[in-house]
Structure 1
């Protein structure tokens, strides 16, 4: 079975399990996540691999990290994630990409990401649930962070923190690649 097939199977199994744990019907999860019922059925039956945006919406609606939805198994107290097991979630033909390095659901979902954003590329995100925080640190280039329509230049060596319950995006308006590390803390579903 390919890595892609394993990812699809893990997502199907974990989405269905978590939805059941919360007692959510397909319609309730669809309404909560803003994702069609048909798409959720396809994901739970491992017939499709959704976009990053859809996966984020489902994780947010279930109050878990993307890592939890993609994990093959819940591991021991200490879980090491070697580079070859980090999950590439988004990429462009110009070389931009994001990689989910590690995540946990202890005391609410928490994820750590590595970003590489080529000149001229950008990535937009829908609002996350109230209380979701994002922390980022730019290590190369200058990021243009747009939060609720307001642009903030974030040069190398600078960190930023913001509540991500509004539309936000990450842009590289410069001439060199932007590298950054980002942590996302999501408030657990109630």
Structure 2
């Protein structure tokens, strides 16, 4: 089974499990997430591999991390994710890539990501639930952080923290690849 097939199967199984545990009907989850009922059915039947944006909306609506939706099995107290074992969520032909390194949802979703953005590329995110905070550290190149249409230039070595309940994005406007590590914490669903 390929990585994509394993990812699709894990997402199907976990989405249905978490929707059932939250006592959400298909219609209720669709309304909370802003994702069509038909799309949720296709995901739960492992007939489609949704976009990162759709996966984030579903995770936010369920009050779990993306890691929880994609996790094959919940591990012991210490879980080591080896080099190359993170879940690739987004990539481009030019070489930009976003990888979820590790995450947990025992005290509300908490995720760690790595990003590599080639010159001229970037990615944008919809607003997350109120109380969501993102922290990032630029490790190479220069990153342009956009939060609510305001641009912030961050050189290698810089770090930032912001409330992510507004549209935001990460872009590389420079001539060299930009790399960063990102941590996201989302408050639990009441």
Do both proteins adopt the same fold according to a TM-score greater than 0.5, normalized to the shorter chain? yes
Cα deviation for residue 2 of structure 1 reads 2.1
Give the Cα separation in 2 of the matches to 1:18 and 1:87: 20
* Shift, 1:184, TM fit: 0.5
State how many pairs are aligned. 190
Provide the residue aligned with 2:86 in structure 1: 86
Deviations 1:132-158 (A, max 9, x none): 100000011111101001111111111
Q: Secondary structure at the match of 1:83?
A: coil
Supply the distance in 2 between the matched residues of 1:84 and 1:172 (Cα, whole angstroms).
23
Q: Residue 84 of structure 1: CA displacement? A: 3.1
Q: CA deviation at 1:82?
A: 1.2
Q: 2:137 matched to which residue of 1? A: 137
Counterpart position of 2:100: 100
Partner residue, 1:6 = 6
- For structure 2, the 5+ residue unaligned runs are none
Shift of 1:7: 1.1
Matched, 1:183 2:178: no
Secondary structure at the aligned position of 1:85 is classed as coil
Asked if 1:161 is matched to 2:161, the reply is yes
d(CA) in 2 for partners of 1:52, 1:96: 14
CA distance in 2, matches of 1:83, 1:92: 20
Instruction: Tell me which residue corresponds to 1:47.
Output: 47
User: How far apart, in 2, do the equivalents of 1:49 and 1:83 lie?
Assistant: 24
Q: How far apart are the structure 1 equivalents of 2:45 and 2:26?
A: 13
Unaligned runs of 5+ in 1: none
Equivalent position of 1:127 in the other structure: 127
Runs (4 or more) in structure 1 with deviation over 4 Å come to none
User: What RMSD, in angstroms, separates the aligned Cα atoms of the two structures?
Assistant: 0.8
* 1:147 counterpart residue number: 147
Q: CA deviation at 1:118?
A: 0.5
CA distance in 1, matches of 2:125, 2:9: 25
Q: For 2:78 and 2:46, locate their aligned partners in 1 and report how far apart those are by CA, in whole Å.
A: 29
Tell me how far apart the structure 2 counterparts of residues 84 and 161 of structure 1 sit (CA, whole Å): 26
TM-score (norm 2): 0.98
Distance 2:83 2:100 in 1: 10
* In 1, Cα distance between equivalents of 2:139 and 2:47: 38
